[in-house]
Amino acid sequence: MPFNKATPALSRRALLGAALAAAGWGRVRGRWSQRQDVFALVLGAVQDGGLPQAGCYTDRCNTARSVPRYVASLALVEPEAERYYLVDASPDLIRQMDLIPGSAFRERAQARRPFDGIFLTHAHIGHYVGLALLGREGLGIAPTPCYCSPAMASYLSSNGPWKLLVDEGRLFFPEVALNRWHRIDDALSVRLLPVPHRHEYSDTVGFVFRGPSRSLLYVPDIDRWESWDIPLAEIVDEVDVAMLDGSFYSAREIPGRNIEDIPHPLIPHTMDLLETSVRRGKRVVFTHLNNTNPALDEGSPEAEEVRRRGFRIARAGRRFAL
């Protein structure tokens, strides 16, 4: 099933909006410009353990001690409407919130309602433990919807300290069936896609976010693309931007550990699968890079190979228009 059929209709709407604006329909023009401003903001792009990572004293980790790289996360921003959404709540959440631009967000955060919603992929440490910073001992957020799978909602509702967030009414779970589109507000829709990944505490989902003009696929964790019931190239061809699991470049990155215990697709393999899509103009960006991944170093041969083949590595602060 196609994942984004909105672009032609939206192009017609843009032309209509311009014509109405020229005729003096200021409110129509204002509403349309508001919708055009929606964007996804990269808040971080490294694996759950962070960079630097505990016990890591390589040159890469030592450099990151003075210039840290944050754990994979996104913000979805609607500037004119002053709406903000968080995608995965990482351990670096406090500093990541500082990356979200504008005084309106800071005013909202000080009023204990920074986010209009929180989207969670799964229950591995980099993707949800930042919720604790929003609870009673931290920000103490006002009631906020959390969009995740039913299994993830059940896990958070049954296990502390997350259970306290739920019991106090700070976090609640709108019903969002998997594999269906859900309208979040007048500018944003989402589809939750089940993803095969280690299910120690909950299952895992990826997200397709659809804005007024463009769509973005977010899958920071998966065991193997071949285990997914969705052909990777097929879904990438249906979106404008794909942010994908780039945890490892090589299976030899972690000496003394069996990489099969922490399975992820290797970046070169993903590039092989998607080279035709990228040649056709699709934007594929790797995120969730482990501290051992040499593609984190911009001047490395691996990073250069990623760029040469038309792919990109996510960086905190980068925006993708929706």
pLDDT tens profile 36-52? 489 999 999 999 888 99
Strands 73-78 and 39-44: antiparallel
Distance between CA atoms of residues 246 and 267, nearest Å:
6
Fold for domain 38-321? Metallo-beta-lactamase; Chain A (3.60.15)
Higher pLDDT, 258 or 130: 130
Q: Label residue 259 by pLDDT band (50, 70, 90).
A: low
Of 63-67, 95-99, 156-160, 224-228, which one has max mean pLDDT? 95-99
Domain ranges of the chain: 38-321
Distance between CA atoms of residues 132 and 90, nearest Å:
10
Higher pLDDT, 199 or 22: 199
Q: Across all residues in the chain, what is the average pLDDT?
A: 87
Q: What is the pLDDT of residues 111-122, one digit of tens each?
A: 999 999 999 998
Q: Label residue 14 by pLDDT band (50, 70, 90).
A: very low
186 — alpha (psi -120 to 50), left (phi > 0) or beta? alpha
Q: Label residue 2 by pLDDT band (50, 70, 90).
A: very low
| CA-closest candidate to residue 32, choices 22, 21, 24 | 21
Per-residue pLDDT, averaged over 88-98, amounts to 96
pLDDT above 90 covers a percentage of the chain that reads 75
What lies within 8 Å, CB to CB, of 217 at 6+ separation is 3, 206, 207, 208, 235, 236, 239, 241, 242, 243, 244
Distance between CA atoms of residues 279 and 292, nearest Å:
28
Q: Label residue 34 by pLDDT band (50, 70, 90).
A: very low
Per-residue pLDDT, averaged over 162-185, amounts to 95
